[in-house]
A = this chain, B = another copy of it.
Amino acid sequence: MGTRKQVAESAGVSEATVSRVFNGVTPMKESTRRRVLEAAEALGYTPSVIAQRFARGVSGTIGVVLPYVPKVHLFSTYYFSEILSGIGEAVRDNGHDLLLLFRSPSEDTDYEPLYKSQKVDGCIMLGASDRPDERKALQALARSGHPFCLVNQHYEGEQWNEVDADHVDGSYRLVKHLLACGHRRIAFLNGQAAYSNSRDRLKGYRLALAEAGVAIDESLLLEGNYSRTSGFAAARSIAGLRGAVDAVFAGNDRMAIGLMQGLRELGVKPGVDIAIAGYDDSDASRLTDPPLTTVHVPFFEMGRIAAERLFACTGRTEEALPPEKLATELIVRQSTALARPREAD
């Protein structure tokens, strides 16, 4: 593997000219250009990306910050997988590098070093939540002008670069559908309130119920953590309310699936004794028995757009892109239309 100096020598030019050829910036004589390229080819010379980055003072890399989720294979999760795929597509098209950044539970959140150490030029934050330390870390980032983009998370009171989906509307439509099916006592197994999308779903839920003149029964509001396990665990509470609950709206498909399994073990038949709805429209939602009614969220698109927004603002100082909010879509399947409707009260 030859060095630039060797190439220069062999081609009878200066090292600077070799660089110019590889950067294709300055206009130059075609003959020298070819001579350099041939010499490089012969010597097996490849410019060092590291040195380029060093000299240019940029990393050419965008980082994807992944939350720490204990005992879960993150990529095996529809949510992260799709977003990451979308980011991957955009990043590849832009010729940047994609660095995966795993957050660890031990060290406290501080994104600044990533930028200051030039590891990344920008970051996309996945699974961010509104907890004091996270908010503070992002504020620091924003203050120092480091570009980043949030996906599926909104921070009240902040004007940050973000790509969200309309979960208020998605939930609203879903609950309206449940009501239309004749369900009145609709339990809501939500995720943690630290996520704006959880809060948005609750809004949609309340809105639909209020509109239908159905009073909210706070005892029907349960909280899980978006894991299958937490859905499974919730089955016990739901079963305890049996007869008092027509339907359950779970904040994501994973919880819905866990819930269905849990209910089944307790002798309650999902789709027969009780209606179940999920959220996300994951692959799995098509495979359950009965197939899950759910809400489609364009995660792939969201990832792609987040990356593109980052490219758009990297380099410039104007960081005032208006927040993006993509539409969601109700997907009706069989889990919400009870095969055997419960008897009239």
A residues near B (Cβ < 8 Å) are 1, 44, 46-51, 53-54, 57, 59, 61, 73-78, 80-82, 84-86, 88, 92, 97-100, 102, 104, 112-113, 116-119, 144, 257, 283-284, 287-289, 300
Smallest distance from the beta carbon of A89 to chain B beta carbons, Å?
A: 8
Q: A85 and B92: CB pair below 8 A?
A: no
* A82-B76 contact, Cβ under 8 Å, with A50-B117, A53-B50, A100-B100: yes
Cross-interface CB contact of A100 among B57, B82, B98, cutoff 8 Å: B98
Q: B46 and A50: CB pair below 8 A?
A: no
Q: B75 and A117: CB pair below 8 A?
A: no
Identical copies of this chain, number? 2
Q: B78 and A85: CB pair below 8 A?
A: no
Q: B118 and A49: CB pair below 8 A?
A: yes
8 A-B pairs closest in CB distance: A73-B85, A75-B81, A287-B287, A46-B116, A49-B117, A76-B81, A50-B118, A54-B54
A85 to B119, alpha carbons, bound, how many Å? 21
Cross-interface CB contact of A98 among B48, B54, B74, B99, cutoff 8 Å: B99
Residue of B nearest to A254 (CB): B283
A85 to B74, alpha carbons, bound, how many Å? 7
Q: B99 and A99: CB pair below 8 A?
A: yes
Q: A49 and B119: CB pair below 8 A?
A: yes
Residues from chain B with Cβ under 8 Å of A78 in the complex: 76
Q: A102 and B75: CB pair below 8 A?
A: no
Smallest distance from the beta carbon of A128 to chain B beta carbons, Å?
A: 18
